[in-house]
Each structure stands twice: as C-alpha cells, then as structure tokens.
Structure 1
Amino acid sequence: MSARPSRRRRSASPATNPQEVAALCRVPTKNREKPGVTTGSLTVTRMKTTIRRALVLGVCGLAITSAHAQEPTANNTAQNEAEADDGAVGEIVVTARRRTEALSDVPVSITAFSQEGLDKIGARDVDDITRLTPGVQFQRNTFGASNRSSISIRGISSTVGANTVGVYLDDTPIQVRNIYFSSTNAYPRLFDLDRVEVLRGPQGTLFGAGSQGGTVRFISPQPDLQDTHVYARGEVASTRYGAASYEAGVAVGVPLVTDKIAIRASGWHRRDGGWIDRVDLYDQDRVLEKNVNHSEATVGRIAITFAPTENLTITPSFLYQEEKSNGGNVYWLSLSDPDKGIYRNASNLGSTGKDRFGIAALALNWELGGVDLVTNTSYFKRNSDFFPDYTGTVSSTLLGTAQPPIPGLTAQGYWLDDQENFTQEIRLQSNDSSARLSWVVGAFYSHAKQRARQFIDGSQFDRILEYLAGFPISVEEYFGSPLVDGFAYITDDRTKDEQLAAFGQLDYKLTDRLTVTGGLRVSYTKFDFVSSTDGPYFGKSSVPGSTSQTPVTPKFGISYETDGDGLLYANISKGFRVGGAQRPAPVTCAGDLAALGIDQIPQTYGSDSVWAYEAGAKGTFFDRKVQAEASIFQLDWSNIQRSVSLGQCNLSYIDNLGSARSRGFDLAITARPVPALTLGASVSYTNAKYAVDVPVAPPNFIVRDGDTLGIRPWTVYLNGQLDFPLGSGEAYIRADYSYESKNKQAPRPNRVGYDPLIPRPPETHLVSMRAGSNFDGLDVSVFVDNLFDSKTNFGLNRDTSNSPVFYGGSFRPRTVGLTVSYRK
C-alpha cells in the first residue's frame, strides 16, 4: 500500500536526506524513530516526581508528547528537505495498525528503527534493539553455545510455554513455543531491513496469540518498480582481549520491466570474534581453545514484485538465515579476572551450535476502489542443533559436584529442535485516510509443528557408577535398564499448535479531532503433544496430551487531536497465551515433588491472559524542533504460566500459578536546539510484581505477594549527534548511553528454586561513540563500543544448586572498528 498523508501534518512533503542521520529522523516513506527523555543524574525519587508531573501535563493536553518511533540513535532515512533546513525533527511511517500511517498519528506506544538509524548506532541483532527501547528487556543464556533467550515488554515475559511477545518478519509470525530447554525464538539479523517496529502492550486483536506483552516486527524493503536501489555495508573491528570481527553485505533492487516487474536480492555474512578462552580443567594454564566464543551469521533474501495491473501487486519472497555459535559467552568466575582481561572457562568439551531457518512468503495487495485486499501466505521451516557440554550437569546430579573427581570424564549433550509453520492471513481494509470510518477485517490460520529432542551420551556412565559404588557395576545393574544406542537420557517431544481466528478493528471519527476505536479477535486454538522418553535415567514412556480453547481478545480506545499538533489517547486491550501439556516427572524427582506437597505434576496447563490499561500523549513543540511522547500503563496478568524448579533432579515443570500487576510509564524526547545538533533521551519505569502468594508444602512457597517478575525497573537511553559540513559532504559525531537498574528482589529463603549464592543482577552502563562522514551516499565511520570497557558481571549463575562452578556474563569488551556503507 502506498503511504498516505498524515492527518495532522498536511504541509509536510516527503524527501530524502540521508545526511540527517540524527537519531530522531522520521519520514513519511521510511522509518525512523527515537525514544528519549530525562537525565540519568536524577535520584529515583526526583525522577518519579519529574516524570509524573510531565505525564500529567501531557495527558491534560499540554502535549508532552512525541513519537516513540523516533529512532533512539538512528540516522534519518527519508527526511523532509524543508524540515532539514529549518532544523525540525522529521517524520516516520509505520504499519502498526496494518495500514501505512505516520507514527505520530498512531494512538499506541511504539518505537521504530530504520536501517539507516540502526547503522548509525551499530546495531546488528535484536540484543542491540532492545537495549535502546524503553520498557523492553532482553536476556540471552548462551549455555552450551545455544542461543536461548527471553524478551520482556513492560514486565510480561516467560521462558516456558508459548511466547509472550510476538515476533514477525513482515506479516509472518515466527515466535516459537519453549519446549523444556532447547527451544527459543529466532530473530532476523539486522541487514537490509526497511525498519523494525516494537509495539508495547497486548496486540491480541491484530496480531493474535503470543502478543500479550507486545510485538516486535521486522519489516523488509520491497522491490521498487521504478528505481534502482543499492545498499552495501562492510565492517572490521578489534575487541580488547579478543579476536577480530568483520562483516560484508550487499543488497540490490532493480526494475526489470518498469512499473511491471522488479527484483530485490541481498546477501550478508558476519563473524564476531571471541574473547573467552577454554582451558584444561586439570591443567588450567593449558589453553585448549583461544577466543572460543566466536560466532557467524549468514543471511540471503530475494523478492520479486509483479504488477499485472496498476492496482495489483504480487510479491513472492524467500529469506534464509544461518547462525553458527561456539563456546557460549559465559566464563567461570574462579578462573577469570576481568580487571586484567582474563576470561576463561574449563568446559570438559567444546560446545557448538547451528541455527538456520527459511521463510517463503507470497504477499498480494489489490486495491479495489476504496478497499484493499491484502493476503499473506507463508511457510517457515527451522532447524537448530546445539551440542552442549553436559559433563558438569551429569557430575552434579550423580556425584554432587560439577567438577568431576574422575579425570577425563565427559558427557556430551545434544539438543535438536525442528520447527515448521504454515500461516495464511487475508484482510480487507479501507484505504481512504480522509474518511470518518477506517476499518480492517480479516481471517488468520496457522498450523505449527515442533519437535524437540535431547540426548545425553552415556558412554562413561560405567566409570561414574563404579566411583559411586566403589566396585565395578554396569548401567543396567544400577538403573535396571541398559543404555539406548549409547545414550543414558533421551527425550523426544512433538507438539502441534493450530489456530483459526477472525478479527476486525474500526476507527470512527466522531468529530474532526475525536476518534473512537473498537476491535475484536475471536480464535479457536488447539494444542497436541506427545512426549517420549527412553534411556536408563528417565525410563521408557510415551505420554500424549491435548488442550483447546476459544479466546476472545477485545480492544477499546479513544484519541483526540489537539490544537498544538498533539495527540492524546487511551486504550484498554487484552492479550492471551495458549496453554499446553507436558509429560509426568520421572521417579528420580520424587523427593522434589514431595517437597512441593504433590505426587505428580499436572499433565496440562491452561492459558494465561493480560488486561492492559494505557493513556498517552504525543506532540511537537517550538516549531517542530522538539518532539515528545509519554504513556502510563497498568497490566494485570492472571493465571500465569510459569516454571517450577525440581532442583535435585535438574528438571522443571509448568503450572498456572498466581497473578501479577505491572505499572509504569515510558517517556521519550527528541530535540534539535540548532539544526546541526540532535539530542534524544528516553526513560521507562516498570514496577512488575506478583499480586498473590503461591504456597506449597509448608514452609515453602513458589512466589509471594510482592515478589518481582525478575526485570530491572528502570531503563534510560541518551544520545546526541552533531552534524557539520565537510568538503562536499557531511560529517557527524554521535554518542549513545544506555542504563539498566538492578533488580531489587528481596531474598526469599523458602522460595522453591532460590539460590542464596546468586545475587540479583546489578545495574549496567554502556557507552558507545561513532564519528564519520557521508559523501553522495558513501558513509565511512569509526566507532568504539563499550567505550569505558564495562566489566559488570550481569549474568552470574550456576547449573545446579550444588555446583561450585559459577558462570559470569558481561558486555563484549571495548571494541574499536571501521564501518563503510553505501546507499543509492
């Protein structure tokens, strides 16, 4: 669909100006965004007071508002020439409501990033995006070279069951169901993207199940039927204490037959050098692998657009992505000294992993007078294989220590996860932006299959059992059954998620300024599960499970356009997450179950849901030289699906336990006090806590009223960019700072899974700088990431409660590099 003019910015005429790479450039044909606000020097109390006053002023109509979709450190993509001349902040276009519109006209809390903006901040993956987005937090657990991760939006997050945050590539959902330990979301890498949109709060009406916390959308550039476009990027970098990194990629779009057929193809490869060494556990001066935690990523995409008539476009596309990982970004505290640049682990085996997926999609857009018919048919297939070192886990479980007292003992693990999704969506939607009524109705179907398998090599179990018994004894004699194909532990879990939904949303202008919104999605979901186990440790079993439901997710909203180029809005919406089924716990977990006061874990668990209440404002000031956005929210999360640890047998299960409430605000400001200087700031506060006690066998409990949901309450992001002429081009200098506060959860000695030796994650600070110049589309820059070489250990953990091995996790050490990009 073509972009349509903003209701409140009729005078703006879009034009392209890649020089205006200030992190807040936003335009009506490209994306850009920028969060921002406040200063990090305020105390918590003063911050709260200041922000609350600002929010009140905004919601009262004094337009404390701005477009959250101003890119926190982005470069302007397509900037309005007139605005660039007078120093005004530009505009960005998004499709958060499934239609093209200026972000400042969307009554939803959104942050958006353009490709140019991402390049200016050096963002290469989802980790970088979430660090710059208010109210969003991202954690990655790289045990065994896996890419397991969790994402939280406004406190809503989970590492079990279906995902709480929707992940989309264009109109294709690609989020995954977490099956025990091996499954995690796939995220597209950040090359050749038109933009990334982060939508906060439940998006259950337009985006369905799995979007109860929000939705992250990766939007691809489409072939241009009239013009040729070229985008290329290369980079080399050196990491202190580690190995070099590099990347290279190119994207080309060409009209093959003007106005009829066009193609766009891209390819990109990146290698990130490691900075952690693997040493011999028994001879720690002997380095087995230097810079072991290296990784690689390769992405290729092709799309072809056909326009058989003026009003019809058909675009088939295919994307392939492959990521290889090695070692994992964790180090052993006992062997490391970060202050001296020493990062080491003593894993008995090297760990490797490979994650690859392909997405084939067919998109159709047919303009039928005042209505558009939009369809998207897609097939997503993914295979991820990770081979972690399970020596410490096996040793902890059987011998009581993660450092095996038997020299040379090893136990290889295997995590094999396959995912296969088919989705079909069809929408009819109005396309007259001047009409009083705007609407979209549609239907959605998805069929998702997943298979997760885990194996643990048992070839050395005889040695362990002999050590335990004090005399030779076989696996079969000890456990009552032999190894199966050399494995002591085998699980094979197969799931099938089906969903059929009808949805619609109406926006009706009661007056020229006042609009009401109503939306509804009705879904039928069905989940089938078969879990099989084998091997002497778990025993042989096959357990089926099934659950179905018909969730309804409504949305209600109201918005008002003020005289001062502002927008006030309020929304009530619901999000849900489907339930599931699980296998029973083995007999080896009997002691853990008894401590919980149960004989067996539940075979099925139900859905959970979130009701969200949000009020916000967006606006511009001082002849559009300042933009601001603010929102306040309350999320009520009920029947929460959460993991319960069975610590002694190193397993866990899922149950619906308790409720929680998340309250807070997001605030962003972007300013250009003079045309050459762009300043941006954003701050968010999220107070997410459980609202009830969940007791088990006295005196233990799973959660208590007032326990946090495990997130850091405060996040702050600040940036600034100075642009100035240099010869026939433009030069710039920019700096970016991000902050996350510590988690202040109080100690809970009687909480299930509580480990008194694992403190809450501390606060983090990260500073980066970049300087460069742009000449006729060629951008050359030098950068320093982690300028002050922060060594904060924010990932302290251990595999089991009896393990003496503690893992640490930190930002990549200071990295200096050179980036060259070209756009035409």
Structure 2
Amino acid sequence: MGVFYMDELTIKRAISFGVSLISLTASATAVRAQDLPAATGASESGPASDEIVVTATRQSETISKVPISISAFDNERLQRDGVRRVDDLVRFTPGLVLSRGVTGSNVISIRGITSGAGAGVTGIYIDETPIQVRNEGYGAGSAFAEVFDLERVEVLRGPQGTLFGAGSEGGTVRFIQAAPNMDALHIYARSEVATTHKGSETYEGGLAVGAPLVADKIAFRASLYYRRNGGYIDAVDGTYAPTANAAAVYPNGNLISFTPKGVVRKDTNSDNALTARLAVEFRPTEWLSLTPSISYQRTRQNDGGNDFWTGSSNLGNGDLSRLVFSKGSAATNPALIDIAVPDKESAQDRFLLYALNAKAELGSVDLISSTSFFDRANRKWLDFTLIDTFQFGGYASPPAGHKSASLYEVGQKNFVQELRLQSSDRNARLRWVVGGFFSSNKQTARQNIFNNFVDKLPVVFGASAGGDPFGPGTSAIVNALGVPLLPGGGSYSENRRINEKQYAGFAQFDFRATERLTLTLGARVAHNVLEYDGIFRGPFNNNNPPLGFPCPTAGGCTPGTGVFTPLYQDTVGLKNSETAFTPKFGLSWQATDRDLFYASISKGFRPAGVSAKVPENFCRPDLALTGYADANGRSAQPASYKSDSVWSYEAGAKNKLFDGKLTIDASAYLIKWKNIQNSVFLPTCGYGFVDNLGNATSRGFDLAVTVQPVDGLRIGANASYNKADYDGAVVTPGKINLYPANSAISAARPWTLTLIGEYYWSDFYLRADGSYFSEARGQGATDPKSPLFNPRLQPDQSYTAINMRAGVLKGGVDVSLFVNNLTNTRPVLGAAAQLGGFVYTASTIRPRTIGITASFRR
C-alpha cells in the first residue's frame, strides 16, 4: 500500500498544518463570525440536540420515533464526548461491552449475548457492509472504523436478524461515514495534543472537506486523519524465580520474585491509526444518484498491547511494566539458531473498502443498491518465550538470548451486494422495505511459531539428542516429535481457510392500524454455504511422534519415513450448509407527538460452522474423558457445529416531558438463547473445538435520561443492568461439566452507570462525565463453582472514571482543555495466569491524560 505510506516526519508536518489551519480559521472567524452558520449540534446558545436522524429501520427517521432500543452519536456529539475509538463508546452506550485479547482478538457484545467461539454474535457495519469475523484460529478479531469523519454511529440493541442478517443476535453497531454534499463547501478539521501520567504524548490531526464540483450534479467528500496514542507501560529486562511463600506474596500480585536489570523501552505500548477516504456523488438525473467511494485504514500497535506483569509493576504508584526477551545470535551462542523474528511484539491491521451505492427515486418508491468489497489484512507478532520456556524447561527464567515468537495473520475478502425496494412516503399508512442480499466472504487465519533454542536442547520430552529412535547426529526434538523444525525455526504452523456464501431475502412492513398504532411484521430467509480447509504442519502437529522410543525396524530408522512417517490431522474440503428463518413482530403506539411506547418479539441467529480436527494421538485421552466418539465408539470430535439462535422479548418507551426539557428512553428485555456455539477446550493436549452446548437466558434493562432545567444546562444519565446465565449445567457427552448451572455466560459487569453534565454560556462551556462499572461476574477461572476456578484470580474490579472538558465555542471554532481519568484510577482488569499459574498479567484503563483539542467545522 505504498500510495498510502506516510513517514513520521510527513505525519508531524500534516498535524502541524492542521493546527495552523485551525488557528488561521479561528482568527478569520473572530473577524467575520457572523458569516458562518452555527454548528448543527452544540452551539453558542447551548448543548446539542439529541434528535439525530438514523436509518436503523433502513428508512430515515428521528431517533425518538424509531420503535427499537438504539443509541446514536453524530459527529459533533462524538467530539463533544471525547470519543476517539470504539472503546470509548462503551461508557455512553447502555448494554455495550467490548473486550480485547492479547492475540489481537476481540469480542463486542450487546445485552449479554457474547461468545468467543464460532461466528460473531454482533453485527458490525461500515455503511452498508458487514465486516465482522468468525472466531477462527487464535488471533481473529473484528476491525472497527476509527472515529473521525463519521456522520454518526448507531448501536442497535437486540436481535437485528430481519434487516441486518446473520450474526446480529445481540445487536448491531453501524459506523456511517460522512457523505458528499451538493449544497455548499463543508470543512471539518481537528487536532489534539495530550500527555499521560507516567506515559508519552498523544497527538492527532485530521482534515475532511466536502463540496460540490458541478452544481447539483457532482460533489465529493475527502478526508485524511492520523492519531497516535502514547504508551504508559515500560518494557523491562530481568529474571524471575518462583517464590517459596506464594500465598503470602499474592496480595501484591506476585507468585514470582522478580529481579530487574533495567528499562529496555519506555512507554512501549503506543499505538497509531491512519485513515483516508474519498467519495464522489454523481447525479446524472434528478432521480438517480451514484456514489462510488474508497476508504483506507491502517492501525498499528507498538509492542505488547496494554498488558503488564503484576510481578514487575507497582500498580499503586502507576509504574507499569512487562518483561521482554531479546533474541541472541548463533554467531555468539552455539546453543541457539538464528530466527527472523522481531525482538518486540507488534501488530498492524489495514483494510480497504471499495463501495458503490446507487439510489433511484421512482415516485412513491426508492430502489437502492449497495455493492462493496472489503479487503483486510491483520498481522501480529506475539512473544512466546514464556510459553516455550515453561514447556521445555519448567518454571525457571529463560537463559539470555532464548526467544520464541508467534506470528498471527487474519485476512478477510468480503464481497457484498444488497438490493432494496422501499416506500418513500413517510406519512403513508403502509411503509415497507423488500430486499435481496448476497455475500461471499473469504477468511483466513494463520499462525506460525518460531523458536531459537529448542533445536539445540539436549533433551525434549524425555528424548535425547543423538538417542532413540534415530541415533547419532539427530536433535532431541526430532527424536521426540519425529520431524525437524520448519524453515526459520518453525515448531508449529496452521493455515485455516473459510469460504462462506450467504443468499438472503428480507421484508418488513409497518402498517398504521390507527392514527397512533403501528403494527410491524418482518422476516428474513437466509441460506448459508460454508467450505473449510485447515492445514497443519510442524513438529507440534505431528500425530505420529516417536517420543524417544527405540527404533523397531532392523537397520535403523530415518526421520519422516517408515513407522515414523509423520501424520498431520488436516481438515480439507469440509462443507456445511443451512437455511435460517428470522421473523420479527412489533407493536408501537405513538400516544402523543412526544410519547412513544413499543414492544417487539424478534429472532436472531448466527450461522453454523466447521471445526478443525484436533490431533487424535495427543488428544484421544481428552476426547475419551469428555465423551466424544464416532459411530464406531472411537474417540472423535464433531466435524461441524450447528447454528444457534435467540428469541428476544422487549418493551420500551421514549418520552419527552415538561415541554421537552426531560427526555426518557427506557427498555426492558428477556432473551432466550438456544443451542449455543461453545468452545470445548481439551486441557491435556491443549487443543479445542466448537460444539453446540447449553442454553441461556439474558435479562435486563437500558435507560437514558436527559434533563435541561435551564437554558444552557444539560444533565444526562445512562444506566444498564444485565444478567446472562446458563439455564442449566453445560456438560459434554461424557458428562464433564464445562459450566455449572446458573453460571454467567461471560465475565461481564452487571451494572454500568454514566452521568453527564454540560453547561454553555456565551462562548464558553464546561462538560464532565463520570462512569461507574460494577465488579465483573465470576466466569470460568474466576467462578468458584467452575472446574476451571483459579483462587488466585479475581473478576475485573469495579471502578469509576471521571472526565472533564472546558472550552470556547465561537462560530465553527471549538478549542477546549480536557482531562480524562481525573482521579487517575487504576483498576485491575483482564487478570490472567501464565507460566503454569506463576506469572500473572493484567491491564488497566489509560492513566490520567491532560490535553487540548482544537477543531473547526463549517
């Protein structure tokens, strides 16, 4: 992607230009502010209106008139709330949860419907293109659009299977990019500089421009944006050893004694993002518009994500660090081989989205076509030194120069075509939309593990170098696992490929039975076809390892031949197909122009899939224990898994009281989840697969309240409660208990609460928000009822985070000072056990960050 490459100097110059542009514009505005239109959201007279127009029903309506539970954020509110990435939406969106894994995986969920296995449970859209991934391999995670030149973000709660299809079981998140405008010149520029407590600087610069090129015929929208988030975790060097009094030191987070040697890299966990977009709208006639566009995004993570070692950190004073391992050289250490892996972890995720949207206004109906191609490549290096050290050497600190690293690669190539015919008269008694959908999604998931010391070890799994079964001159790993390392020191390799096609037809009808009462009936029929290949190579995938046993063949044995010919448990050419039907029934009563009450019953589903075969020789005891066997009684996993589905029952109300000074948006729901796609982990051999195990119930409510008691003052509150439990014990065919009865589906927090206050006077404003997150529920390793319970781990801690902003808003110029995480709270999040349970890692929220934002909008 050389056309999009920008070096650091170029980026800094672009940011400097953005700041200069804003400064010059501010000066000009002071002279002729009366010539500029006021911003459509926050203005000089007070806070922004919440009457955002959304397309959650595939037709444009103000949010207060849409009979579903939805949160929407236009561009001005995103800036006002300090939302810079999708993670920031969580504190302003009831029911939304996002968790990230160290391998680059992520799980976004709504209303407790969450899963790290099988297909995604939450629909993710950029404009009209679904981009969510399957949870395939160990590094899969969905991409999210960066938050800059977006017209709005919509979060739809509850199943959206009728209009948004497979995977929207819990809800749908839609990133809607700014469109070209035929009317006038539009400019949006933003720059920000900030510093983080005991961390490095954060900065950004972005510019978006839209304008007509030919009056009423051609218009464009173009944007360029870069942001760097400074790091706050140090990479350190040192050694460790298990402690004799582990229980005594656990309260400090240590089961090891750590001896530091020095800081290798300061503030190593920085990340950055670069986006660019161009859209052009053509109107060859008054009734036809064509809008081709191309969007580019590249994000980079510099070393290690946001996890730190509790044993090397001091969370109390904010000194956070993680131990890193540098590779040695065979030239100076004969116990090593040279491997082409980086010393530090890193990640890069880039995508290109090509789209062509067409709209024909045909009298009382509109014909809309959306064609798109999404091309994504995700690449991440993860340090495996700790894992391989434990496998081959136990709990001791690795010798200097030992290094293992894993490369995860996830790819997506998605083609989507949707065609809709829908009514265009908002006041018609019958409003309707009918459509067809086709997608061809190709997803790849690769992992390769490289190691520089295993090949020279004298003993591996009881087999000796030069010993049985292959004799003098052979390495210990060959005598143990039967094959040498792959080129470049590779011990493990997997290549998974999924080709998935979906054909669907859908329709929704809204019939106004009376002036105030509307009935909704919708349905979608989808046919999914999936093909799966999984190719596995390397010593750790050999299903016929000698394990150091004597050679049974007269005349000796040769690696890779005879009785020790390697056997790989590949999965090639497996197919799966199914047809799903997802109906929706709704009732809404517009009691007054300011009061809407609604209820709905809707179904959602996620498609079936295929699991890669686990190595039988390694995993046969685990399969026997869990009761998985084929028709002949031989231990075997299921080759595929079925779709699962939810039925959601929801009631809600949207009200404006006291002449609109008080608004209330409330909903309550009950969701029944059947035949859940669950991970079955085989603890001895370390592999796993997906099976349909267990049913669950999710229940709760979402609430948003806004009050404007006097001019210029706005006070808001968002609250949500969710409890999602398995209905009974989740057991394997062999009656092994995976999850106890009534245990939590995930380690989510039952309660979240956000309070927001804004006050505008003259050209100035003050804003503050505080978010409370209750302690997460115990699940798996943190659930005392679970067979996986680890008493040294605790659920994510409860915490409260406070953000404040003060600024000047004059015409289209907005300059503000802000502080995020005012109290510098540092909750322990995502605690995990490594090294057989002796090393513990965790993360926390970004420490106190202080900065200045300047923007211009016209």
- Report the TM-score range of the alignment, normalised by the length of the smaller protein: 0.7 to 0.9
Deviation for aligned residue 1:740 = 1.4
1:168 aligns with 2:198: no
Aligned counterpart, 2:799: 764
Match of 1:543 among 567, 571, 576: 571
- Write the mapping of 1:75-94 to structure 2, written as runs, cut at 5 A: 78-79=40-41, 90-94=50-54
Match of 1:488 among 491, 503, 526: 491
Aligned counterpart, 1:290: 266
Aligned counterpart, 2:588: 559
SS in 2 for 1:247: strand
Aligned counterpart, 1:808: 842
Aligned counterpart, 2:175: 218
Which string of whole-angstrom CA distances, capped at 9 and with x for unpartnered residues, describes residues 132-185 of structure 1? 2001111112x2xx5321111000011122110000011111111111211110
SS in 2 for 1:806: strand
SS in 2 for 1:649: coil
1:244 aligns with 2:201: yes
Q: Structure 1 CA distance, aligned partners of 2:618 and 2:147?
A: 44
- Write the mapping of 1:333-372 to structure 2, written as runs, cut at 5 A: 333-348=310-325, 349-372=343-366
Match of 2:298 among 313, 318, 322: 322
Q: Structure 2 CA distance, aligned partners of 1:372 and 1:810?
A: 49
SS in 2 for 1:279: strand
Q: Structure 2 CA distance, aligned partners of 1:190 and 1:163?
A: 22
Deviation for aligned residue 1:284 = 1.7
1:184 aligns with 2:158: no
Match of 1:203 among 160, 177, 195: 160
> Contact 2:47 / 2:758 at 8 angstroms: preserved in 1?
no
Match of 1:457 among 450, 453, 461: 450
1:227 aligns with 2:184: yes
SS in 2 for 1:675: coil
Which string of whole-angstrom CA distances, capped at 9 and with x for unpartnered residues, describes residues 180-234 of structure 1? 2111100000010000000000000000001011000011111111211000000
**AA partner of residue 805 (structure 1):** V
Aligned counterpart, 1:715: 752
> Contact 1:547 / 1:604 at 8 angstroms: preserved in 2?
yes
Q: Relative to structure 1, is the Cα distance of residues 688 and 474 closer, same or farther in structure 2, using a 3 angstrom cutoff?
A: same
Match of 1:703 among 728, 733, 739: 739
Q: Relative to structure 1, is the Cα distance of residues 753 and 396 closer, same or farther in structure 2, using a 3 angstrom cutoff?
A: farther
Deviation for aligned residue 1:716 = 0.7
1:418 aligns with 2:375: no
> Contact 1:131 / 1:138 at 8 angstroms: preserved in 2?
no
> Contact 1:359 / 1:379 at 8 angstroms: preserved in 2?
yes
- Write the mapping of 1:127-146 to structure 2, written as runs, cut at 5 A: 127-141=87-101, 143=102, 146=103
* Count of residues in Structure 1 that have an aligned counterpart in Structure 2: 738
SS in 2 for 1:550: strand
> Contact 2:370 / 2:419 at 8 angstroms: preserved in 1?
yes
Q: Which has the larger radius of gyration?
A: 2
Which string of whole-angstrom CA distances, capped at 9 and with x for unpartnered residues, describes residues 307-360 of structure 1? 111111100001000001122100000000022221011132410111000100
TM-score (norm 1): 0.87
Which string of whole-angstrom CA distances, capped at 9 and with x for unpartnered residues, describes residues 65-96 of structure 1? xxxxxxxxxxx962599xx9799955211000
Aligned counterpart, 2:253: none
> Contact 1:80 / 1:90 at 8 angstroms: preserved in 2?
no
Aligned counterpart, 1:8: none
> Contact 1:465 / 1:478 at 8 angstroms: preserved in 2?
no
- Write the mapping of 1:4-23 to structure 2, written as runs, cut at 5 A: none
| Greater alpha carbon shift after TM alignment, 579-588 vs 247-256 | 579-588
1:271 aligns with 2:271: no
Q: Relative to structure 1, is the Cα distance of residues 465 and 739 closer, same or farther in structure 2, using a 3 angstrom cutoff?
A: farther
1:641 aligns with 2:669: no
Higher relative CO (CA 8 A, sep ≥ 6), structure 1 or 2?
1
SS in 2 for 1:129: helix
1:793 aligns with 2:828: yes
Q: Relative to structure 1, is the Cα distance of residues 77 and 215 closer, same or farther in structure 2, using a 3 angstrom cutoff?
A: farther
Aligned counterpart, 1:44: none
Q: Relative to structure 1, is the Cα distance of residues 551 and 168 closer, same or farther in structure 2, using a 3 angstrom cutoff?
A: same
The gaps in structure 1 that reach 5 residues or longer are 1-75
Q: Percent identity?
A: 42
- Write the mapping of 1:446-525 to structure 2, written as runs, cut at 5 A: 446-464=439-457, 466=459, 469=462, 472=465, 473-485=475-487, 486-525=489-528
TM-score (norm 2): 0.83
1:148 aligns with 2:178: no
The gaps in structure 2 that reach 5 residues or longer are 1-37, 240-258, 326-342, 466-474, 543-567, 629-634
| Greater alpha carbon shift after TM alignment, 638-647 vs 112-121 | 638-647
Q: Relative to structure 1, is the Cα distance of residues 353 and 89 closer, same or farther in structure 2, using a 3 angstrom cutoff?
A: closer
**AA partner of residue 40 (structure 2):** A
Q: Structure 1 CA distance, aligned partners of 2:638 and 2:46?
A: 64
| Greater alpha carbon shift after TM alignment, 602-611 vs 643-652 | 643-652
Deviation for aligned residue 1:460 = 1.9
**AA partner of residue 767 (structure 1):** I
SS in 2 for 1:692: coil
Deviation for aligned residue 1:748 = 4.9
| Greater alpha carbon shift after TM alignment, 583-592 vs 324-333 | 583-592
Q: Structure 2 CA distance, aligned partners of 1:558 and 1:512?
A: 13
> Contact 2:463 / 2:480 at 8 angstroms: preserved in 1?
no
| Greater alpha carbon shift after TM alignment, 641-650 vs 566-575 | 641-650
SS in 1 for 2:827: coil
**AA partner of residue 645 (structure 1):** F
**AA partner of residue 563 (structure 1):** T
SS in 1 for 2:541: coil
Deviation for aligned residue 1:464 = 4.4
SS in 2 for 1:674: coil
Aligned counterpart, 2:243: none
Deviation for aligned residue 1:280 = 1.2
> Contact 1:701 / 1:750 at 8 angstroms: preserved in 2?
no
Q: Relative to structure 1, is the Cα distance of residues 133 and 227 closer, same or farther in structure 2, using a 3 angstrom cutoff?
A: same
Which string of whole-angstrom CA distances, capped at 9 and with x for unpartnered residues, describes residues 600-658 of structure 1? 32211111001000001111000111110111100000000111222343333211110
Match of 1:731 among 728, 749, 764: 764
Q: Structure 2 CA distance, aligned partners of 1:682 and 1:634?
A: 20
Q: Relative to structure 1, is the Cα distance of residues 199 and 531 closer, same or farther in structure 2, using a 3 angstrom cutoff?
A: same
Q: Structure 2 CA distance, aligned partners of 1:272 and 1:298?
A: 12
SS in 2 for 1:313: strand
Q: Structure 2 CA distance, aligned partners of 1:652 and 1:758?
A: 23
1:619 aligns with 2:655: yes
Q: Structure 2 CA distance, aligned partners of 1:654 and 1:698?
A: 16
Deviation for aligned residue 1:474 = 2.8
Match of 2:606 among 545, 556, 577: 577
Q: Structure 1 CA distance, aligned partners of 2:684 and 2:450?
A: 20
Deviation for aligned residue 1:798 = 2.4
Once superposed, what is the RMSD of the aligned Cα atoms? Answer: 2.0
**AA partner of residue 155 (structure 2):** V
Deviation for aligned residue 1:804 = 1.3
Q: Relative to structure 1, is the Cα distance of residues 306 and 797 closer, same or farther in structure 2, using a 3 angstrom cutoff?
A: same
**AA partner of residue 53 (structure 2):** V
Q: Structure 2 CA distance, aligned partners of 1:427 and 1:755?
A: 52
Q: Relative to structure 1, is the Cα distance of residues 483 and 121 closer, same or farther in structure 2, using a 3 angstrom cutoff?
A: same
> Contact 1:87 / 1:674 at 8 angstroms: preserved in 2?
no
Aligned counterpart, 2:308: 331
Aligned counterpart, 1:659: 695
| Greater alpha carbon shift after TM alignment, 498-507 vs 539-548 | 539-548
